């Protein structure tokens, strides 16, 4: 009797072990593979503004930030900087082409602030601008318009230079004419004096 109880107990343990083994096997089959490290190579963004964005310069930042645009764009040290897809890009024009720039190569003023701070200061300053647009005293510009103004000023300056040059030429011509006239008078006097001396 003891042998048969022992036999049944061993059989039950073996069956339980077999059942456990099956459970273990099914669990292992169902587990996902270990995570793979993916390398993502980002291409330069093709960001294009149909109209040049307005840039304002919040005093706490010390550089220009684009407003009313879905992109984080900054103008500093003669370059435009775009924060896009968790990385920074640089271009000499607000419409690119954009080149990725390492964080350490950003101007110190930009590096000094987290992107969240930049957005916060930008939004606050933009509210001030919108409230009092006609009398806004802060620094602001729009790139294309700014270039047109520069070109207008250059043309104005060139026109003034041309006018000044004509004025100088005219005065020189008058001076020359006056000197010629005086020279002729002097020659005439000399001739009269020499003519009188002969008599």
What pLDDT score does 154 carry? 59
What pLDDT score does 67 carry? 95
Tokens of 179: 């000197």
Which residue stretches of the chain are H helix? 2-30, 108-111, 115-131, 143-198
Note if the pTM is more than 0.85. no
What pLDDT score does 121 carry? 97
Tokens of 162: 């041309």
Residues 109, 62: Cα–Cα separation, whole Å: 7
Per-residue pLDDT tens over the stretch 88-103? 999 999 999 999 999 9
CB atoms within 10 A of CB 88: 21
How far apart, in Å, are the Cα atoms of 171 and each of 158, 161, 163, 177?
A: 20, 15, 12, 10
Q: Could you state, in chain order, the average pLDDT of each consecutive group of 10 residues for the chain (199 residues)?
A: 50 50 44 45 74 92 94 94 95 93 96 96 95 87 68 66 82 88 86 66
């Amino acid at each position: 009797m003891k042998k048969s109880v022992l036999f049944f107990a061993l059989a039950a343990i073996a069956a339980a072990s077999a059942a456990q083994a099956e459970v273990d096997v099914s669990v292992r089959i169902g587990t996902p593979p270990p995570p793979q490290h993916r390398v993502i190579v980002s291409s330069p963004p093709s960001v294009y503004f149909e109209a040049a964005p307005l840039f304002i310069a919040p005093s706490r930042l010390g550089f220009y930030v684009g407003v009313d645009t879905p992109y984080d764009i900054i103008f500093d040290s003669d370059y435009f900087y775009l924060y896009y897809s968790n990385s920074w890009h640089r271009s000499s024009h607000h419409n690119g082409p954009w080149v990725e720039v390492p964080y350490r190569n950003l101007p110190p003023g930009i590096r000094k602030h987290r992107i969240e701070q930049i957005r916060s200061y930008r939004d606050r300053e933009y509210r001030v601008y919108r409230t009092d647009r006609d009398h806004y005293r802060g620094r602001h510009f729009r790139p294309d318009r700014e270039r047109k103004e520069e070109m207008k000023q250059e043309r104005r300056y060139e026109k003034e230079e041309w006018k000044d040059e004509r004025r100088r030429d005219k005065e020189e011509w008058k001076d020359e004419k006056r000197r010629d006239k005086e020279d002729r008078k002097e020659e005439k006097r000399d001739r009269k004096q020499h003519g009188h001396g002969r008599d």
